[in-house]
Amino acid sequence: AGPLDAPGYAKAFSCSACHGFAGASAADTVPVLAGMPSWYLKKAIQDYASGKRPAAEMESYSKMVLELGVDDVAAYFAGQKKQPTPVKADPAAVARGKAASTQCVVCHGPEGKGDPAKGIPDLTGQPPGYLKNQMLLFKADRRSPGDETLKALKALMRTIPDEAFGDLAAYYSSLR
Amino acid sequence: ATAIGPKTGRRVVVIGGGWGGATAAKYVRLADPSIEVILLEPNKEFVSCPFSNLVLSGVKSLESMTFDYSGLRRHGVKIVHQAATAIEPDKKRVRVGDDAIEYDRLVVSPGIDFLWEQVEGLPAAKDTVLHAWKAGPQTVALARQLQSMADGGVVVMSVPPVAYRCPPGPYERACQIAWYLKTSKPRSKLIVLDANKNIVSKTGLFQAAWKAYPNLEYRPANRVEKIDTSTREVTTEIGDKVKYDVINLIPPQRAGAIAVQAGLVGADKRWCEVNHVTYESVKHKGIHVIGDSTIGLPVPKSGTIANAMGKICASAVVHLLNGKEPPQMPPVNVCYSWVSNREAIAVINAYRIAQGKVVMIEQKLTSQTVAVAQNSEGWARSIWNDILG
Ligand SMILES: Cc1cc2nc3c(=O)[nH]c(=O)nc-3n(C[C@H](O)[C@H](O)[C@H](O)COP(=O)(O)OP(=O)(O)OC[C@H]3O[C@@H](n4cnc5c(N)ncnc54)[C@H](O)[C@@H]3O)c2cc1C
């Protein structure tokens, strides 16, 4: 079967305009979808569509995905081989980020792979610009504002100076 | 001669290697490599219109948005760098000069051409009065004209009446020129003569962005009717006479000439009506039209839409050639506009297909931020790769 024969392709084809072919984003601020676990992609789409996670680019497309069938779209991306970001991180920043990441291990795990059972996403191989933007959004309570389950995460982000986010982002983006 | 032999197996011919056509050519090969794909495109390089307004302000170079076609060749697309000169729907072939190339299905994505004769004096002056509405040499030439203009000079640009390529594009250009003048020629000004009653797209966002540009004078409902290059003056529909030092006249538009010539346009003689699921022309069976040349879908004439149509049409063409029913695939749209050297705004549209027609689910606007500009760079990188990589 060819690259377009995967079930779900016809519902997920339009995402490549921003997320790259089959979700292999090469862009710094647009996340990689290739290989994303379906539970997390589904949650993200639901949060965008309901307006809980405000993001102008994603809200309308998420409504479209819900109409088309989010399970098929999630299965399509989960079925793609994960393609870590090609954006290169500065080794010094990666080292600093690694040192600072001890505070994240309790949730995201020692390798940054997250924990589906607790609703914690895999951070590895995501583009650094995207990871940094999300940390800034958490800190300012602009990603899922008011969400009780994210209180601890946001409290932690508020203790971290903005400059350190670049290092943490570099570290997690460099993990495979 | 084109070096293309007679058809042996199944063959798709694509006219135009821009945003729609290059995407369609690549995706037919991805969907079914047993189908031969021939792409006709006179230009040796692909130059992106999106981002080309940033060349006028010197924020980006034209080289940074210029690409070759080697990626498509790697997918097995056969590229002929010549223009299609005629379409013969009955014989299912495309003429390239004396050659005739047969097809099983034809995809036409020739972009836009200009209605020069709608502005008096323009047909004779069209080589010196720049539109820069097809990115390339004209973009660079217009940037040079702006650079060599004396401080205190007046730049005049005109916005054509709808429908035209890229609804927010002229207003993004106004921002870029105004930003350039503000930073490099503080005593100069920009006059925007708009044929439309108001800013056509992202109205409130552009109005807000223009607060930073007191050097920008916007005159709506002021269609340019005449140009006189000897007195360096344009005349508008309400009789205003406006002197310029640099002119950027964006003429009224219609579908690419080949689509008009092949009778793919409707009664308006300007745009092509198509099926919303397959993009097959309502005029000729076996011929599909995509991109800016189309009309009738509630979508803008944008690169994002042309890319989406390319993918959808490729899928439909392959399904039809394989005797299967094409899937219903709604397009998506995003149009980013840079309002300064570092901030951008965006309009986002999502669609569904209902009773065989594309219908808009909703439209969203972003605010003006650096983050949106970063995302637009991400979009450009991803979509250029989606078209050509
Ligand atoms: C200044 C500017 C800014 C823009 N910004 C954006 C933006 O930010 N986002 C966005 O989404 N869109 C933007 N657009 C719009 C976008 O460029 C167009 O919508 C898009 O290029 C349309 O794709 P197309 O395939 O219809 O035409 P094109 O991309 O123009 O491709 C048509 C191709 O057909 C070829 N051709 C024509 N006739 C023939 C023939 N007879 N034989 C063979 N080949 C032929 C041409 O050489 C050309 O390469 C912008 C446009 C402009 C002018």
B35-89 pLDDT, tens per residue?
999 999 999 999 999 999 999 999 999 999 999 999 999 999 999 999 999 999 9
- B94 pLDDT higher than 90: yes
Is 90 exceeded by the pLDDT of residue B2? no
Task: Give the pLDDT band of residue A1 (cuts 50, 70, 90).
Answer: confident
| pLDDT classification of B326: cutoffs 50, 70, 90 | very high
Average pLDDT over residues B151-159: 98
Report chain B residues whose CB lies below 8 A from the CB of A2.
Answer: 30-33
Q: Inter-chain contact B348–A21, Cβ cutoff 8 Å?
A: no
Chain B residues within an 8 Å CB radius of A143? none
Structural tokens at position B205:
């966002």
Please give the distance of CA B209 from its chain centroid, rounded to a whole number.
24
**Average pLDDT of the residues in B305-317:** 98
In the structure encoding, which two tokens stand for residue A82, read together?
A: 């994960």
- Residue A67: list chain B partners with CB under 8 A: 352, 361
Q: How far is B348 from chain A (nearest CA, A)?
A: 6
What's residue B80's pLDDT? 97
The yes-or-no verdict on residue B1 having pLDDT over 80 is no
Q: For residue B366, which residues of chain A lie inside 8 Å, CB to CB?
A: 56-57
**A1/B147 Cα distance (integer angstroms):** 54
pLDDT in tens, A42-82: 999 999 999 999 999 999 999 999 999 999 999 999 999 99
A53 touches B: beta carbon within 8 Å: no
A14–B330 CB contact, under 8 Å:
yes
Cα B110 to averaged position of ligand 1 atoms, centre (Å): 8
Q: At what angle do helices A128-139 and A162-174 cross, to 10 degrees?
A: 140
The closest CB to that of B371, out of A61, A63, A133, belongs to A133
Residue A86 pLDDT grade (very low, low, confident, very high; cuts 50, 70, 90): very high
Distance A105 CA to ligand 1 centre (A): 48
User: Which atom from ligand 1 is nearest to the alpha carbon of B170?
Assistant: 1
Question: Taking CB atoms and an 8 Å limit, are A27 and B379 in contact across chains?
Answer: yes
> What's the pLDDT at A84?
98
Entry field: residues in chain A = 176
Q: Indicate whether A118 pLDDT > 80.
A: yes
Mutating to test ligand 1, I would choose from B15, B54, B67, B165 the residue with most ligand atoms within 8 A of its C-beta, which is B165
Q: Examine the pLDDT at A19 and tell me if it is beyond 80.
A: yes
Q: Is the pLDDT of residue A142 over 90?
A: yes
Which residue does chain B place closest to A130, by CA atoms?
A: B375
Of B369, B271, B353, which is closest to residue B312 (Cα–Cα)?
Answer: B353
pLDDT band for position B211 (cuts 50, 70, 90): very high
For B349, the closest of A16, A17, A60 (CB atoms) is: A60
Burial group, residue A88, by CB count within 10 angstroms (0-12, 13-18, 19+): exposed
Ligand 1 center from residue A137 Cα (angstroms):
36
Q: B359: nearest CA in chain A? A: A64
pLDDT at A28: 97
The pLDDT of residue B3 is 85
Residue in B closest to A25 by C-alpha? B382
Give B320's pLDDT tier (boundaries 50, 70, 90).
very high
Mean pLDDT of chain B: 97
Q: Chain A closest CA to B265's CA: distance in Å? A: 27
Ligand 1 atom, smallest distance to B53 CA: 1
User: What token pair was written down for B130?
Assistant: 């720049």
- Each residue of B23-40: pLDDT tens digit? 999 999 999 999 999 999
CA gap B285, B301 in Å, rounded:
23
Distance B301 CA to ligand 1 centre (A): 9
Instruction: Categorize the per-residue pLDDT at B130 as very low, low, confident or very high, splitting at 50, 70 and 90.
Output: very high
* pLDDT tier at A37, thresholds 50, 70, 90: very high
The reply to whether residue A28 touches residue B27, judged by beta carbons under 8 angstroms, is no
Residue B319 identity: H
Residue pLDDT, tens place only, B201-210: 999 999 999 9
CB of B306 within 6 A of ligand 1: the answer is yes
Over the stretch B243-273, which tens digit does the pLDDT of each residue have? 999 999 999 999 999 999 999 999 999 999 9
Question: Would you say the CB of residue B169 lies under 6 angstroms from ligand 1?
Answer: yes
Measured between CA atoms, how close is A101 to chain B, in angstroms? 25
Confidence at A102, pLDDT banded by 50, 70, 90: very high
Contact: B381, A26; criterion CB under 8 Å: yes
State whether A2 and B386 contact (CB < 8 Å).
no
Residue B142's nearest CA partner among B160, B155, B124, B125 is B155
**Closest CA relative to residue B134, chosen from B62, B222, B235:** B62
Beta bridge partners of B86: B95
